[in-house]
Structure 1
């Protein structure tokens, strides 16, 4: 090769490697140990960040892309109609939080309510039609904390009783302050990650005899949630994918399962049943009070606003909080896709197109019982300045 051409080639390689090194979670070289996913620009690797403006850590684990069968076969113990028919899905690579969102990770988002109120009062960082795409609502303070904190609020316990809407707004806050696209997983992404590369009911096989090694469920939980990472992880290094708390995903729940998708060539986001009604919305993975069949990878449950807000003293009922069982064992975890969508397309991850919900939130804001604020990389500095 000509010396000049060789120099250009080496320079181009160095630039690509430097660019890869600058992307959080991507290494230009293969790690000597630990999980990784080979991609065109290098290797997806685990990473840990401090959430900007907090002292809170978030650790993300790479999940490889691949094809799998979404749902469960009729022969699987616990199989339900909502898990059928099985369909072939291609899942692009992504990072997933190694455990459910904890109170330590959720409370900084809860604290934004008072901060946003102060900004609005001082006419600081005002939300306009031009920047509204970067705005979120913060959850209102708990009117009766004993419902949400029935099993405590230890920082390492999974956060619970937030609505699907509130979980989505949390992911938008996280995206805004980090500059990376975090969101809830789709059902397909969640299930693919839970299986850990297996094609069985649990990531370790079909026999639940080993479940106690990996999950908190009715047989060993003592009727309460447990600290995250208290059991063994799956093959990808993800903890508590079976049991402890149910986890929100993007999808609307339906007993009709995947009939609408049968025979199609699908990627993960193609499978999403984008919500159009307030409930039932979908949670996955089972909780501490569920039996072994309910914590399978394919297991799912639909939410019920009426039942899950039965003890809510607010009128109208809160769009941010549930109060009643089984919401006391419902939480979530975040993912970050390798390939991000443009901001205008990503809106669907954070603000579901549910007319009743959007009207409810809008009414709350008008009445002063809710608050809107901007989330961007400058927010942490603004919060510090306002202290």
Structure 2
């Protein structure tokens, strides 16, 4: 923030009160430079020989008045206040709007921050923000809206299509567990608009694999392990229907080992394991690039639209049709397969219980990879998919967390994976 020369208002420290009063008078009369200067003074607080209290609310007020007159410096500084949440809610969409019009107005530093803000936005936010930018550019006579950054994932702009269901080969093992044969393929893992640990990168899986249609049930776990550690059990929770939970990563791995040792499974050459994190997300996405396996959650989009008065929120949600999560779970797990499956016929990939994966938790690679197995070492193991206790944001296809292998609670379960070759 730098003050602009304004008719000698700031030239003489002995006349600082006169200078401030002149600035106030000019600002009240609608002078954009004066409004910008007041915004700067209130944003900085005491500055040189001017004793002005720091007041971000006043800074926002005057910067906005100047910005709405087309003042590029004011637009840039207003964007920074929203980007960092100085006395205004941290708002990447609002920051993107003001950085965009500032960049179009010739501000040298605006484009970089505009791109940073853009990378934090979801599809519907981008659509609304770009509509506002277009309106402001028309108002200021600045022509065409700047293109969004080419290095970012712009597929978010086309995330309203529904996935096409695919009938994959299905099989059942000796204890009644159902599997879908997931084809080999290439996909984009991660989410550019997600968390810092979700860096998008291309992943190729060269071998097909079988994925459990359902999360492992309490009955299946008890049949193999001889115990049922679940918190949600008893007369109200039929073991054949409800997912096993309160299991550690070590428990899940031991289940796979013992299942593989059952005579019928051993005779068939079946070796069970947890899915890798890449296999899990690939199977969850089922060919989609959206926030969830069915698309982008309309409930979240409707909430955003309702805030700007474009839609009356009717409490309808696609996610509710596919997942048991915090708002609708009633505070516990539910029978597996009680919601809609994804396009590849897998149930409860979103919500119900978190699902342990094979990998150590770590940073994603920076480039494309083939058949990744995660970090070489670490303290935490990956878990995916969200649970009955989580908000929609934590049930996304790309959401990832790590936990100690010995950690257990009623949020954690798993599903198993099987390579046709037994590998």
TM-score, scaled to structure 2:
0.52
| Distance in 1 separating the partners of 2:166 and 2:204 | 24
Contact 1:208 1:292 in 2 (8 A): no
| Distance in 2 separating the partners of 1:88 and 1:305 | 28
Contact 1:70 1:298 in 2 (8 A): yes
Indicate which of 103, 118, 138 corresponds to 2:218.
103
Paired residue for 2:40? none
Structure with bigger strand share is 1
Contact 1:183 1:335 in 2 (8 A): yes
Paired residue for 2:279? 189
Contact 1:248 1:332 in 2 (8 A): yes
Paired residue for 1:249? 357
Matched, 1:61 2:180: yes
* Shift in CA distance, 70/226, structure 1 to aligned 2, threshold 3 Å: same
Contact 2:387 2:411 in 1 (8 A): yes
| Distance in 1 separating the partners of 2:336 and 2:410 | 16
Paired residue for 1:297? 397
Measured after TM superposition, the shift of residue 208 of structure 1 is 4.5
Indicate which of 203, 206, 211 corresponds to 1:89.
203
Measured after TM superposition, the shift of residue 305 of structure 1 is 6.7
Measured after TM superposition, the shift of residue 304 of structure 1 is 4.1
SS at match of 2:293: coil
SS at match of 2:216: coil
Paired residue for 1:46? 170
RMSD of aligned Cα (Å) = 2.1
Matched, 1:330 2:415: no
Matched, 1:281 2:375: no
Name the larger-Rg structure: 2
Matched, 1:200 2:290: yes
Paired residue for 1:263? 367
SS at match of 1:82: coil
* Shift in CA distance, 171/208, structure 1 to aligned 2, threshold 3 Å: farther
Measured after TM superposition, the shift of residue 94 of structure 1 is 1.1
| Distance in 1 separating the partners of 2:283 and 2:181 | 10
| Distance in 2 separating the partners of 1:250 and 1:203 | 21
SS at match of 1:238: coil
Answer 1 or 2: higher relative contact order, Cα 8 Å, separation at least 6: 1
* Shift in CA distance, 150/207, structure 1 to aligned 2, threshold 3 Å: closer
Measured after TM superposition, the shift of residue 182 of structure 1 is 1.4
Matched, 1:154 2:238: yes
Contact 2:249 2:405 in 1 (8 A): no
Q: How does 1:347-358 map to 2 (within 5 A)?
A: none
Paired residue for 2:167? 35
Contact 2:361 2:374 in 1 (8 A): no
| Distance in 2 separating the partners of 1:186 and 1:100 | 15
Measured after TM superposition, the shift of residue 48 of structure 1 is 1.5
| Distance in 1 separating the partners of 2:186 and 2:216 | 27
| Distance in 1 separating the partners of 2:421 and 2:375 | 20
Contact 1:62 1:236 in 2 (8 A): no
| Distance in 1 separating the partners of 2:422 and 2:233 | 36
Q: How does 1:127-146 map to 2 (within 5 A)?
A: none
**Residue-by-residue CA offset, 1:143-176 (whole Å, 9 max, x unaligned):** xx6xx42454531110011111110111111222
Paired residue for 1:27? none
Measured after TM superposition, the shift of residue 65 of structure 1 is 1.4
**Residue-by-residue CA offset, 1:85-114 (whole Å, 9 max, x unaligned):** x11111221111111000011002222xxx
| Distance in 2 separating the partners of 1:283 and 1:204 | 21
**Residue-by-residue CA offset, 1:360-385 (whole Å, 9 max, x unaligned):** xxxxxxxxxxxxxxxxxxxxxxxxxx
Number of aligned residue pairs: give it.
Answer: 232
Q: How does 1:5-44 map to 2 (within 5 A)?
A: 35-36=167-168
